[in-house]
Amino acid sequence: MGTLEEKVAIVSGSGRGIGREIALKLAREGASVVVNDLDPDPAEQTAADIKAAGGNAVVCAGSVVEDGFAERFVQTATESFGGLDIIVNNAGYTWDTVIQKMTDEQWDAIVDVHLKAPFQILRAAQPWFKEHPVDHHRKVVNVSSVSGVFGNPGQANYSAAKAGVIGLTKTMAKEWGRYKVNVNAVAYGFILTRMTEAVAGDDAFVEIEGRKIKVGINPDRAAMAARTIPFGRPGTPVEAAGAVYLLCTPESDYVNAQCLVVDGGQR
């Protein structure tokens, strides 16, 4: 029996990277998982891997910022598995530049995906939590960043959104205590994903919702950042997922309104 047996989880952005590892970890511990990704293929792969390992998973593909997605996400969990116990707001990406070069489109896109979408998903879940009380504690984990805690040059949009996630977390923890819902956040530091890989040159891009977004960081900057971490290396997606899992376990039932910094002790 896993620690999350008979629980139902929704994890946004769980087709790749940290989100995928979160979905796999929760499933290994017994949770039934609704997998989401902007692209159907990686979402289907994560769900297939969960099922191959003996777990339960369904896919709810699509952009977290599209109209009606939040309600569809929650409904997929309640209709597929009969409940909703864990929400992990993980989906997002970065679109960086200094403020004088940042467009309104850049600002809005990043704030929408990192802050407005989690707000909408939580709002969509509230009726279910209110109308279907349970004996155990339900868990929400919102993914923030050290950029939202300490700031980071070139990330005014991302830093502001991730700081907002912490404010949203602390407020919802106070609003939802009466429903026995714990609401916490994790603030990641340097975690090695496709967005943070060391890439030479300026030609590494991904396409997100029709936008060409630069990914990766300069190898020299990556090496310098790694040297400031006591372990001498960035974290892995598996390690990042472990922090979310901790906040979903029964052992965290009296942990509420907290932001756990997961940066290997860098700051």
Taking residue 79's Cβ as centre, other Cβ atoms within 10 Å add up to 9
**DSSP state letter for 232:** S
What proportion of the chain, given as a percentage, has pLDDT over 90? Answer: 87
**Lowest-pLDDT choice from 48-62, 69-83, 192-206:** 192-206
Tokens of 261: 């910094």
Under the banding of pLDDT at 50, 70 and 90, the label for residue 220 is: confident
Domain boundaries, the chain: 8-193+236-262
The top-level CATH class assigned to 8-193+236-262 is alpha beta
Is residue 121 predicted with pLDDT exceeding 60?
A: yes
pLDDT (tens digit per residue) in 124-163:
999 999 999 999 999 999 999 999 999 999 999 999 999 9
pLDDT at site 200: 52
* Average confidence score pLDDT of the chain: 95
pLDDT at site 201: 55
Taking residue 256's Cβ as centre, other Cβ atoms within 10 Å add up to 21
Measured in degrees and rounded to the nearest 5, phi and psi for residue 20 equal: -60, -45
**Lowest-pLDDT choice from 1-5, 78-82, 236-240:** 1-5
**CA 171 from centre of chain:** 18
Q: Could you say which of 93, 158, 188, 245 is catalytic?
A: 158
pLDDT (tens digit per residue) in 221-237:
788 888 999 999 999 99
The pTM assigned to this predicted structure is 0.95
**DSSP state letter for 82:** S
pLDDT at site 199: 58
pLDDT at site 202: 58
pLDDT at site 210: 78
**CA 223 from centre of chain:** 25
pLDDT at site 198: 57
What is the rounded average pLDDT of the residues 87-101?
Answer: 97
pLDDT at site 50: 98
Sequence-ordered alpha helix ranges (H) in the chain: 17-28, 40-52, 69-81, 104-111, 117-131, 146-150, 156-176, 219-227, 237-246
Residue 158 annotated as catalytic: yes
**Smallest Cα–Cα separation from 226: which of 236, 237, 217, 234?**
234
Handedness of CA 111, 17, 29, 145 (dihedral sign): negative
